[in-house]
């Protein structure tokens, strides 16, 4: 395999619909008991890509179909795709949680998998005890955990609470400790699945830095699954795109992300995240005139309407919406910061966020959203990319011509705002952009 550490050859995974097999014993028991009682399966997944496209007369479907690719030592590979595309199934096969139906995965080296936050943690045990327990589950010897214990606790930033039972930890503390244990395992391959979705922005950046350091300085291979396209672009030099269980693109990250976003152009509809307490069912974008669209003029209002499904009665949840360029710059609306939240949500409902008179340059933009509890410690809906839109115009209409046009076009900044120059001679130069005036 030379410097190849992962070789995937004609990998396929078939499931039989109606057969209880969720890959976890607790979920299998829940589904079996519901079946005995004649109730709906609480773990039944709907709205996924395969469920919308498969032959309804068939009792079988392929979660993965004929995947073939290699991963070299030290690579940081991003794995992207819509809900139900097969990403988690692939990682479960890679981590030996489930077996393929057809094909093989050949691995060279030790694998550290962080597929679900805190898997293996015992809520009754302290943070210290869970570090040793989780380390053992991941294959670390006691001496190895002891030698890295201080580094793990320091990275997780839970020194004061290390001897407190983890059932009293916030979700942020929980994920920090879980990630820290996996990140300090001497593994050749790190498999990370959406774990960063529940950390705060500062810790997310810290985790990305740790994974990049593990790759560049220690030669580890990183497989990173995320719906956060900005994080994928910042971390990964290569990406693969899964659609309906098939590998449809493989190459430089920016190009693969562009292909994915081009197919996602517009709004999300009919794709509920069932593992979240609040599922995002539909997102609609409207311009200043109230028209549903995915193309906007500079200076237009951007209205984002989302339909949610709350699994139970939730008091004062906090929604947030982030709009960012594909280069990484972004701005956001966050109820937790603004201090205004709905008094209560339950069942299906809708909420709308409007960004007024946006000074956006002609680019493609990514919309991400999520939901937290009022105090921000509990994630009700993990941050996910729900769609994209394009700002169209030319530089001439914006009032940016010549050298300035090239400068702004090459910049990663998504916005341009009016500004003034005050010169030593007393001159005052006011700069504005005609296209950024309020759109009627």
Please, where in the chain does CATH 2.70.50.60 lie? 278-391
Give the burial class of 19: count Cβ atoms within 10 A of its Cβ; 0-12 exposed, 13-18 middle, 19 or more buried.
exposed
Please, where in the chain does CATH 3.40.50.300 lie? 4-263
DSSP summary character for residue 58: -
**Residues sharing a CB contact under 8 Å with residue 13, sequence separation 6 or more, in sequence order:** 62, 63, 64, 86, 89, 93, 98, 100, 101, 245
pLDDT score at 129 = 94
pLDDT score at 391 = 79
d(CA 159, CA 191): 26
pLDDT score at 149 = 94
Fold of 278-391: Coagulation Factor XIII; Chain A, domain 1 (2.70.50)
**Residue 325 main-chain phi, psi, to 5 deg:** -80, 165
Fold of 4-263: Rossmann fold (3.40.50)
d(CA 409, CA 395): 9
**Residue 424 main-chain phi, psi, to 5 deg:** -60, -25
pLDDT score at 244 = 87
The SS3 of residue 282 is strand
Q: Are strands 221-225 and 318-325 parallel, antiparallel or unpaired?
A: unpaired
d(CA 395, CA 401): 6
The SS3 of residue 283 is strand
388 contacts 283 by C-beta, under 8 angstroms? no
Q: Smallest Cα–Cα separation from 91: which of 100, 82, 83?
A: 100
395 contacts 408 by C-beta, under 8 angstroms? yes
Q: Smallest Cα–Cα separation from 257: which of 320, 328, 204, 362?
A: 328
Tell me the pTM. 0.62
**Residues sharing a CB contact under 8 Å with residue 421, sequence separation 6 or more, in sequence order:** 427, 428, 429, 431
d(CA 292, CA 303): 9
Greatest Cα-to-Cα distance within the chain, rounded to the nearest angstrom: 86
The SS3 of residue 279 is strand
**Residue 245 main-chain phi, psi, to 5 deg:** 85, 0
pLDDT score at 380 = 86
pLDDT score at 28 = 66
DSSP summary character for residue 122: -
pLDDT, mean of each 10-residue run, the chain (440 residues): 85 75 64 71 52 50 91 92 83 87 91 69 91 84 92 91 90 81 83 65 77 84 82 87 92 85 55 68 87 80 89 88 72 70 86 83 80 76 79 54 46 61 75 52
366 contacts 229 by C-beta, under 8 angstroms? yes
């Amino acid at each position: 395999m030379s410097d190849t550490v992962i070789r995937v050859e004609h990998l396929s995974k078939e499931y039989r619909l109606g057969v209880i097999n969720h890959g976890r014993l607790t979920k299998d028991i829940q589904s079996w008991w519901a079946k005995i009682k004649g109730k709906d399966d609480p773990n039944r997944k709907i709205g996924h890509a395969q469920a919308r496209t498969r032959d309804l007369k068939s009792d079988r479907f392929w979660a993965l179909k004929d995947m073939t690719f290699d991963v070299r030592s030290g690579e940081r590979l991003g794995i992207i795709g819509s809900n139900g595309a097969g990403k988690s199934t692939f990682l479960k096969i890679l981590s030996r949680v489930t077996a393929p139906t057809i094909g093989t995965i050949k691995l060279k080296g030790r694998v550290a998998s962080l597929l679900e936050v805190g898997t293996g943690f015992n809520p009754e045990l302290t943070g210290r005890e869970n570090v040793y327990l989780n380390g053992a589950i991941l294959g670390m010897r006691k001496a190895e955990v002891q030698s890295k214990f201080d580094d793990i606790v320091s990275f997780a930033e839970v020194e004061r609470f290390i001897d407190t039972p983890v059932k009293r930890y916030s979700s942020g503390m929980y994920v920090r400790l879980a990630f820290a244990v996996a990140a300090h395992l001497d593994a050749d391959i790190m498999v990370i699945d959406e774990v960063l979705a529940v950390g705060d922005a500062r810790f997310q950046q810290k985790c990305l830095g740790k994974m990049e350091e593990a790759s560049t300085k220690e030669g580890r291979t990183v497989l990173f699954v995320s719906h956060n396209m900005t994080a994928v672009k910042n971390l990964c030099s290569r990406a693969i795109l899964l659609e309906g269980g098939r590998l449809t693109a493989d190459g430089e990250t920016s190009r693969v992300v562009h292909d994915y976003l081009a197919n996602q152009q517009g709004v999300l509809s009919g794709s509920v995240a069932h593992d979240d307490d609040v599922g995002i069912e539909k997102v609609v974008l409207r311009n200043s005139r109230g028209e549903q669209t995915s193309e906007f003029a500079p200076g237009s209002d951007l209205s984002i309407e989302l339909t949610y499904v709350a699994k139970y009665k939730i008091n004062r949840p906090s929604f947030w919406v982030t709009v960012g360029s594909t280069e990484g710059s972004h701005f956001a609306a966050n109820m937790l910061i603004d201090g205004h939240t709905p008094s209560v949500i339950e069942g299906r409902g809708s909420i709308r966020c409007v960004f007024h008179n946006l000074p956006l340059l002609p680019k493609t933009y990514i919309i991400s959203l999520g939901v937290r509890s009022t105090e921000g410690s509990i994630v009700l809906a993990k941050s996910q990319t729900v769609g994209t839109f394009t700002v169209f115009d030319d530089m001439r209409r914006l009032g940016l011509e010549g050298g300035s046009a090239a400068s702004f076009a090459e910049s990663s900044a998504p916005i341009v705002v009016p500004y003034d120059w005050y010169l030593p001679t007393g001159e005052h130069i006011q700069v504005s952009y005609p296209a950024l005036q309020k759109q009627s």
